Amino acid sequence: MINSTQNAQKNQVQNLEKNLHEKFVFYGKNAKEWMRKCILLLPEIEKHKIWKKHGFTCIYEYAAKLAGMSRNAVDDALRILKKVENKPELKWVIDKKGINAIRPVVSIATQETANFWAEKAMEMSKNTLEAYVKEYKKEYTEAKIIEQKFRTSTENGQFQNLFSEIKMQNISMELDSKTADQLSKLKGQGNWNELMRKLMEVYQAQVEAKKPIPQENAKKYVPVKIEKYVLEKTNGTCSFPGCIKKYKYLHHTERFKLTQAHNPDTLIPLCKAHERLAHAGLIENENLAPEFWKIKKETDKTSEKWLKVDKLVQKHYIPK
């Protein structure tokens, strides 16, 4: 008897807690939706000075008293909405996902590309979209510059050197005097680039020497030996070109669901945003070493079998 009463009480508490949570989620979701609608109205409210007609001193007072919006939120919304005023596709995204969802693309989207960016903003989280925009700018704006350079050079008849041009980059390092002296000796009369390449080859060879064999018919979890090897290649840093974030996932460039294998050559450490881009099918040359990776404008529709898996994987990431 006592047990059944206790059980009944326990169930009651559980139901109450479940109910509380469900209500909160439901109201929260609605509150967000209504707030998005308020935000979208602000430019028109400001344009017609609606606040004045209803006895408010300014739009900030109007938005604060009627919708609980902060001054910053109003300024931010007006600024962003000004930038997308001729881009209904992006406004539509604001209505569906909120103003943050399009923040990474406001400076890059034009009227002509608004549809492209709206699609990307709907598919990706804000962080993934930020990473994508960063790569997109590098890829497609730099490519354009080279293209233009090429055109002017052909006119001058001196374009041979254009594609053999290697970009040099300065890196400053803080070293203790002993290390600095030793390195300088190793460099001698040569150059830093040569020395660093040599040191890197030694490092890579050392890592490579310990390469474990691939594991076939494997379980989901990557064996420690393989994981250790893969991480040593980049010292645990994301492998995407130019990214120095700490890795978050070991990414199978040959999708695990298809191969059931952990291959040390095709397992790549990636940060969260770059892993998402890979699963969105937006990395070109994914089957080559990451140094050859580039981002794509569109998902490759021909690699159906991969996409099926990627869609499955993506499903787990879609925010509720």
Do 114 and 89 contact (CB within 8 A), yes or no? yes
Count interface residues toward Zn ion (CB under 5 A): 6
109 binds Zn ion (CB under 5 A): no
| Burial class (CB within 10 angstroms; exposed 0-12, middle 13-18, buried 19+) of 77 | buried
293 binds Zn ion (CB under 5 A): no
229 binds Zn ion (CB under 5 A): no
**How many CA atoms does the CB half-sphere of 48 hold within 13 Å?**
7
User: DSSP labels for 184-201?
Assistant: HHHHTTS-HHHHHHHHHH
- Rounded Cα gap, residues 33 and 27, in angstroms: 10
Q: Which stretch binds Zn ion (CB under 5 A): 45-53, 99-107, 245-253, 286-294?
A: 245-253
Smallest distance, Å, CB 138 to Zn ion? 13
Q: Which stretch binds Zn ion (CB under 5 A): 79-87, 89-97, 265-273, 305-313?
A: 265-273
247 binds Zn ion (CB under 5 A): no
282 binds Zn ion (CB under 5 A): no
When binding is defined by CB under 5 A, the residue of 117, 240, 256, 306 that contacts Zn ion is 240
Residue closer to Zn ion (CB basis): 233 or 274 = 274
Q: Which stretch binds Zn ion (CB under 5 A): 13-21, 166-174, 273-281, 304-312?
A: 273-281
238 binds Zn ion (CB under 5 A): yes
The pair of three-digit structure tokens given for residue 72, joined into one six-digit string: 């910053």
250 binds Zn ion (CB under 5 A): no
Give the CA diameter of the chain: 98
Smallest distance, Å, CB 285 to Zn ion? 16
271 binds Zn ion (CB under 5 A): yes
Do 296 and 283 contact (CB within 8 A), yes or no? yes
Residue closer to Zn ion (CB basis): 239 or 266 = 239
| Burial class (CB within 10 angstroms; exposed 0-12, middle 13-18, buried 19+) of 174 | exposed
226 binds Zn ion (CB under 5 A): no
Q: Torsion-angle region of residue 263: left (phi > 0), alpha (psi -120 to 50) or beta?
A: beta
Q: Which stretch binds Zn ion (CB under 5 A): 85-93, 99-107, 116-124, 233-241?
A: 233-241
Residue closer to Zn ion (CB basis): 118 or 131 = 131
- Rounded Cα gap, residues 11 and 244, in angstroms: 50
313 binds Zn ion (CB under 5 A): no
When binding is defined by CB under 5 A, the residue of 59, 121, 243, 278 that contacts Zn ion is 243
272 binds Zn ion (CB under 5 A): no
Letters for 171-190 (x = contact with Zn ion by CB under 5 A, - = none) are: --------------------
3-state secondary structure of 4: helix
Contacts for 149 with CB less than 8 Å, ≥ 6 apart: 162
User: DSSP labels for 87-101?
Assistant: -HHHHHHHHHH-GGG
User: Cα-flanking dihedrals φ and ψ of residue 249, to 5°?
Assistant: -130, 150
Tell me which residues touch Zn ion (CB under 5 A): 238, 240, 243, 245, 271, 274
